[in-house]
Structure 1
Amino acid sequence: MNCETAEEGDQQMEIFYRLFLPPDFMKKEVNESVVFAMLKAAKNLQVSRRGIPPEPDFIADGEGIEVTFAAGREASRDFIRQTCDGRFDPGASKAGEIGRIKSALSRKAEKFYSTRRTSLAILCMLELFDWAAGESREREKFFRWIRREYIDAGIFHTVYLLLPSLNQEWFVYDLRREERRRLLILNYLQAPYYTVVNKGGTGG
């Protein structure tokens, strides 16, 4: 995440964006509810109740769903608090972003869940905008790795990855079923979203 203003001479391919967050999004009960609402809209899941530890965060249609952010070992809310206006280079390495998702997977895989079937939903507030809707060999290779290490291995029933675009959209990937659903966010009060504010060599 880069929160600086672009300087003269920056490459034309950089895209300037802004992140909008719902009020009180830093509160655990708020951001968990937002993520589940997005899952419900994309997958038509019906929540029966919140989980009681050692259950995961939600129980829905007999399935336990644990919710987390794609962040490093630092506190997730500290990571989210650092987001702001930024600039995105589509040609930049995705290694850091992939590492954050791997960290979320590893962290949640270490927990014990009492539900018979548990899935993991990861809200990826990361600069993976070009992964969201288009085609990417790197993305598909990474998804195959997740399926092998966490789904086929029986750690999670499925992994839901929520990836943002720069058009007020989120794309929900169900890695077990290899499905992708698009969500258009009309109001930032419903869910966070990213939007382009300027393109080119100068900041907006």
Structure 2
Amino acid sequence: MGRCLGVCVLTMTLCLTLTCCGGEGGSRAEQLALDIRGEYLAMAGCTASMEVIADYGQRVYEYGIDLNWQREGESVLTLTAPENVAGITARMAEGETALEYDGVRVETGPLDDTGLSPVSAVPLLLDYIQSGYMAECGMEQEEETEVLRVVCRDPEAQPGTGRECSLWFQPDTHALLRGELSQDGYTVIQCVFSSFQITPGVEN
């Protein structure tokens, strides 16, 4: 009962914050964003493969990662590329993260003074999906496919200032296609997802 109440409260909050969303197809995008947020709030976990680009300013790193995220218990990210770090595993549970692979350590960050790194990016993207302030949303055309784009930022911030999160979703399946985290208009993390699958939560 408590979980259902929490979902209802967050959904009503989203209804109030979506007034900032707009653009062509705005009403459709707003409803789709509501539906996606509700589904991601209720999910028990998700799995995906992804390509991650981390921009340190003077250095740019690219990683391949397999993701197994769980709302409760341990979430696992396994590096698949580049070859010299393939197999390194990040295990996250209750706010703690450990990297494992025969004593080898992989350099992943942080990228800024808040501790943002490729390993911490995925949980942060999911946090934005589930509870971030949706400042913009609309339908976009990418090649021959229409996608939903949602931009989250602090409700008091102007576009291009502070931290922003941009998210792209497949409208039919609600799968997360891409996520970008930027700071003061500069993109520091890009995640491109494939084989994204949601594990539904158990209804009470």
TM-score (norm 2): 0.33
More strand per residue: 2
Greater RCO, CA 8 A, separation 6+: 1
TM-score (norm 1): 0.33
